[in-house]
Structure 1
Amino acid sequence: MMDLFNASGLSMPWWGTYNQKSAVIGVIDEDARPRLFYNINNNGQYLFNAAGRMSPNKRIAFLDPVWNLQKPKERKVIRYTFIPHGDYVDMAKVYRKEVVRRGYFVSLEEKAKRDPDVKKLAGAIYLGLYGGYPHYVNMPGMAFTFDQLKDIIKTTHDELKVDQAFFHAWGTFSNFVPNCWPISEALGGAKKLKEAVDLTKKYGYLYSSYHAYSAALENDPDFDTTLFEKDPQGKLKRTGSRWANIDPSKQLGLAQKSLDREIDALGLEADITDISFSYFADQDNSGLFALAKYLDSKNLVNGTEHGQQQWIPYFDMFEGMTYLNSNLSEISHRAPLFNLVFHDAVAIFGKIQDPDNQISENGDFRVKSLRNMLFGVGSTIFFSPYEFDGMKGMIKMANEVVSPVGRETFFSELKTHQYLSPDFNLQQSTFSSGTQVLVNLGPVRQQTQAGVEVPAFGYRVTFRDGTVKKGSFQWRLD
């Protein structure tokens, strides 16, 4: 069972299936919030194990809504569209039309007209510098000084030759979240941090400190339960997660206490606000929308984590999408469903819990970089200050291989995606810019039906001017 929306649920309210003849997509009514029961390739074999028999059932995949019968006024409606000869790409395009109608689609071109700094996201590498915050303040062995931050920014530009970057500094305040102020004097103070921010501006980069207004941590000396939501009996609510325990109606006030002062002190062009928008409760969300609208009113390049469709009008970039702790993609293969709908409406980067420099069930740096080009996702490198030297090679490769695709396709619709081999490793996508990306996510050389060979962990990008860039990621033993 999983949620619709929220940190570990679906990011869009639709699903579908297709065969060689046709496709069908079901879209849940905008006002409905069922839970979702899913079955993936299961034939109930466990029911027959005790008898030592093979299950006679076929392996099937399905997703069923589970409606809350205590909500009689909810419109329990699913609208189905049948698509002759369709597939998952056609389903996504059906839903793309629906989100335009629902008002969730605001293009990056429109956002850039309002704030030209949005263009700095095109081809940018998202560089998260973790100083132990928000978990701890000035954590020994993890905290970085603002002089160190300046050195990392300067090295990224001068030595690594990175064209576009978005620096996200996790650890610049002397208080725990949600009190994101004042700027830490122990790390160098506002003057030194402004020097670092000014350096990002000089290089055409973006910068944000880490902000969160939804979390109160028990190890904070100023831990304050008066910020929590309470039930009619006065008992604390939302205590299951320290990252989402603050009353949503109080989060706007927390942001207003400090963000304007920080913007004035540093001359910020961007803001990333973490966590709050990971959740979309099946109840009053006016507090979260008030916070989103306030952040949007600052006319900064706005980002948040765990992207979901309802926040797209207010944000320019998402750091990661909703995900299950037990990843569904471990069982199946990945398709760029969200980007087929929203690529030209919001810039998507990787999740800091699974950055491109980390090996996980989603692959290693090679596979993630190839998939970034294919899907139109920005590179994410997340590291602590002492790890920076070890990140340099990956940052350079991301800048040389992934970023050029991101720059050319940033304002473009992701038009198509195809699996070209039985093992699903050979894949191809095209963008409305005319850019075509062909990648091989596996360790064996592959060939398209047209005879185009792609080496193991290789790529072939045809840019809109006809230029072809190809190569592969290689193992090397020193």
Structure 2
Amino acid sequence: MLEVKTNTIQLRMDDNNLKFSFGKGDTEWNWTSEYRPKMECKEGTVYFDEALEIHHELVQNGIGKGIRSSFAGFEIEGKKVPYAFETYAWIEECTEDIFFEWIPICEEGLAVEKLFWPGELELEEKRKDWYTLLNMQQGVMIPNDWETELKDIPFDGFFETAGGYMPWFAQFKGGNGYIAICTTPWNAGYQAEHPQNGPYTHVSVRFEPSLGRMDYRRIVRYTLIEDGDYNDACKIYRQYVKEQGNLCTLNEKAARVPSVNDLIGCSFIHKGIKTFVQPESDFFDPENPEKNNNLTSFAVRTREMKELHELGAGKLYLHLDGWAEPGYDNNHPDYTPACEEAGGWKAMKELSDTMKEQGDLFGIHDQYRDYYFSAESFDEDYACRLPDGTIPTHKRWAGGQQSYLCATQAPHYVQRNFSELEKNQIHLDGAYLDVFTCNEGDECNNPRHRMTRRECYDYRARCFDYLMSKGILPSSEEVSDWSARSLVFCHYAPYDFMLRKPGSPKYGIPVPLFNLVYHDCLIEPWMMEKIDDTEDYMLYALLNGGAPYLIRDGAYPDFDGSFEGNVKMHIMEDIKRCKVVTELHKKVAKCEMVSHEMVDGNPEIQRTMFSDGTKVTVDFGKQIYSIEM
């Protein structure tokens, strides 16, 4: 057994099985008995303890003390390969944070596909006050006694996607817990297991290669928490983001582009112009061809916006899909001109001018990842190429066959296309660049424009930053930690259950983990559907201090939370409900969400408090709310 200590932290490694444990005070955290450190490789599964040369040493330096281990001498089919790596687990003395580092030394002889280290921690007792926090979309808390099995984590838990808005998870035993922050999240994710009715939840990190190599040091930082809860975990992460220089508030963004202030208090409208589903698309319906294509003129949308004002809808933001000639999700990145059948540039300008005259805001849907074969500029040489030379393709969306545009090219196409919109005098307040903050970053191994996943996020951010430089507020599909510095708003940032069929069991207690970190940095529109007498999404909009959707016409049926069967209300009732949400949003949009709580420990009654003192309490059982200002 090897051990290092600081004032209050102990870190131990059993050199017989390579398992770690650490603790603070009376709370000890141990890797599970089933866990065995491993790498999944093209050559098969390779366990750390299969190395013929394993050495350990205690290390002390100017910033901390720890345990360094080296691993070499692996054999594949009886032949020794030179692959070697080190691990370093250490305690930083000034913060008492614990760092786990995996360092590649020689990458010859093995092709690692997934690395599972550090290990999952024991959380085995069936207790409601023992729980796990996952950043699966807005956030979920899974008590150890939760009745529903955890399934279907979006994007397999990959960090910086809808499955992991932020690159951390946390676990608590009553008031004592830890937060594990992956400080190198670009090629990493998590896996979690919670069986039906518990009695345990396990979660751990995995690392994946970058362009076929592990290439760089992989790090997870553990901060131990005493006498705290999930609020403390979120505030620890918020402080970490500040220290990295990545916390950019709406006030700071408004200083660059003042129209940020105009977006606050808007009701959001999601409408489209043209839908055209290619016959080879997975969404094409050969039995009901009338469902495949649809066209609404710009003039109709202009009239609808005027009518909403006459009804007293207040300030609106119109998000317009399918505004260009090819139709929604077709032909990108060659998307212009404006749809001729719908009235062309002239009619689109009339719509944008009308929105401006009414004091409303106008934005468009656009796409710079899906790279359609039908695009005139399509060139396979600019599609993302994997390390094995293959180019991923599919035909899921309306536009049919596609690959993925290497993000090194995206900023150039954004500038080209938005210059065309400007030339045609289309006034834009916002623009939605699809999937950038929902899907994982891409990699490209084409030597002409080689790109790592980390670089991909940088190129996507450049697209957002270009829009800001033109006074256009950038949006994307969901939210993601890497984009929070650049993004002003999003399409939505829902709880995971909202994107599943209504009535589906929840995988845990919905908790606003993302908003406890970033509420004052982004504007989030919220679904407002009333599912039935027991579930009204308006309550979540209020609890999160967000903006409301007045009308939300999803691009694809029964997809992305657009389901039939909700309670239908008169438009005047919808407007009335939205006004309640917008009035709150005007007050708290720029406020930090200071805390969230289950009132008297009851998850059916939740309360948020904002930095201006505003408190919002919702009772999901009684379907009521109260706002204290």
Within a 5 Å distance, the mapping from 1:72-471 to structure 2 comes to 72-133=214-275, 142-159=294-311, 161-175=312-326, 176=330, 177-217=332-372, 220=374, 224=378, 226=380, 227-231=382-386, 235-237=390-392, 239=394, 245-264=404-423, 265-278=425-438, 279-281=440-442, 282=453, 284-285=455-456, 286-321=458-493, 330-350=506-526, 355-357=527-529, 359=531, 367-380=536-549, 381-383=551-553, 392-393=571-572, 395-420=574-599, 424-442=603-621, 456-463=622-629
User: Which residue of structure 1 aligns with residue 200 of structure 2?
Assistant: 60
TM-score (norm 1): 0.79
C-alpha offsets along residues 15-65 of structure 1, whole Å, 9 cap, x if unaligned?
11223332321111235633311012557xxxxxxxxxxxxxx61112111
Deviations 1:287-338 (Å, cap 9, x if unpaired)?
4343333233222111111210111222100212486977998221100000
Deviation at 1:421, TM superposition (A): 5.4
Post-superposition CA distance 1:247-297 (Å, at most 9, x none):
222222222222122134212222222123433244541543433332332
Whether the aligned pair in 2 keeps the contact of 1:4 and 1:12 (CA below 8 Å) is: no
In the other structure, the counterpart of 2:159 is: 5
CA distance, structure 1, for counterparts of residue 161 and residue 421 of structure 2: 28
Q: How far did 1:427 drift?
A: 1.0
1:350-396 alpha-carbon deviations (Å, 9 max, x no partner): 4xxxx43374xxx88962111111012222231279x9x96724531
Amino acid at match of 1:67: F
Would you say the 8 A contact 1:163–1:399 is kept in 2? Answer: no
Q: Mark the CA change 1:326 to 1:144 in structure 2 (over 3 Å): closer, same or farther.
A: closer
Separation in 1 of the partners of 2:365 and 2:605? 38
How far is 1:180 from its partner?
A: 2.5
Cross-structure match for 1:38: 192
1:381-421 deviations in whole A, cap 9, x for unaligned?
31279x9x967245313322211111110110011111125
Indicate conservation of the 8 Å contact 2:317/2:362, yes or no: yes
Structure (1 or 2) with the greater helix fraction? 1
Aligned residue for 2:337, secondary structure, equals: coil
Gaps of 5+ in 2: 1-152, 280-289, 443-452, 556-563
Higher relative contact order (CA 8 A, sep 6+): 1
Q: Per-residue deviation at 1:239? A: 4.6
Q: Return the offset for 1:232.
A: 6.6
How far residue 422 of structure 1 moved from its aligned partner, in angstroms, is 5.7
Q: CA deviation at 1:135?
A: 5.0
Which residue of 1 is the match for residue 37 of structure 2? none
Q: Does 2:166 align with 1:15?
A: no
Change (3 A) 1:247 1:139: farther
Once residues 283 and 341 of structure 1 are traced to their aligned partners in structure 2, the CA distance between those partners, rounded to angstroms, is 22
SS of the counterpart of 1:116?
Answer: coil
Residues 390 and 460 (structure 1 numbering): CA distance in 2 closer, same or farther, change over 3 Å? closer
Whole-Å separation in 2 of the counterparts to 1:38 and 1:232: 28
Distance (whole Å) between structure 2 residues aligned to residue 135 and residue 356 of structure 1: 28
Give the aligned CA root-mean-square deviation in angstroms.
Answer: 3.3
Residue of structure 1 equivalent to 2:32? none
Counterparts of 1:340 and 1:198, CA distance in 2: 37
**Larger CA deviation: 104-113 vs 175-184:** 175-184
1:459 partner letter: Y
> Residues of 2 paired with 1:163 and 1:245: CA distance?
39
SS in 1 for 2:606: strand
Residues 140 and 188 (structure 1 numbering): CA distance in 2 closer, same or farther, change over 3 Å?
Answer: farther
The Cα of 1:162 is off from its aligned counterpart by: 2.2
Contact 1:142 1:384 in 2 (8 A): no
- Percent identity between matched residues is 20
The aligned length equals 425
Which residue of structure 1 aligns with residue 183 of structure 2?
Answer: 29
Q: Residues 244 and 95 from structure 1, CA distance in 2 versus in 1: closer, same or farther, beyond 3 angstroms? A: farther
Residues 434/77 of structure 1: CA separation in 2 closer, same or farther (3 Å cut):
same
Q: Secondary structure at the match of 1:344?
A: helix
Deviations 1:417-470 (A, max 9, x none): 11125651111111112211111112xxxxxxxxxxxxx21111112xxxxxxx
Q: Does the 8 A contact of 1:129 with 1:383 survive in 2?
A: yes
Match of 2:305, SS state, is helix
Structure 1 98/231 Cα, relative in aligned 2: closer, same or farther at 3 Å? closer
Q: Which moved more, 1:179-188 or 1:24-33?
A: 24-33
Larger proportion of strand: 2
Counterpart Cα distance in 1 of 2:455 and 2:263: 32
Q: Which has the larger radius of gyration?
A: 2
Change (3 A) 1:375 1:6: same
| SS of equivalent to 1:209 | strand
Q: Is the 8 A contact 1:32 1:77 kept in 2?
A: no
CA distance in 1, matches of 2:534, 2:356: 28
Q: Take 1:117 and 1:311, find their aligned partners in 2: how far apart are those partners?
A: 19
How far apart, CA to CA, are the structure 1 residues paired with 2:244 and 2:271? 37
Contact in 2 for aligned 1:357/1:364 (Cα 8 Å): no
C-alpha separation in 1, matches of 2:375 and 2:487? 32
How far apart, CA to CA, are the structure 2 residues paired with 1:222 and 1:391? Answer: 44
The DSSP-based 3-state class of the residue aligned with 1:249 is: coil
Deviation at 1:78, TM superposition (A): 1.9
**TM-aligned CA distance change 1:21 to 1:272, over 3 Å:** closer
Distance 1:8 1:86 in 2: 27
The answer to whether the 8 Å contact 1:421/1:427 transfers is no
Structure 1, unaligned runs of 5 or more: 44-57, 443-455, 464-478
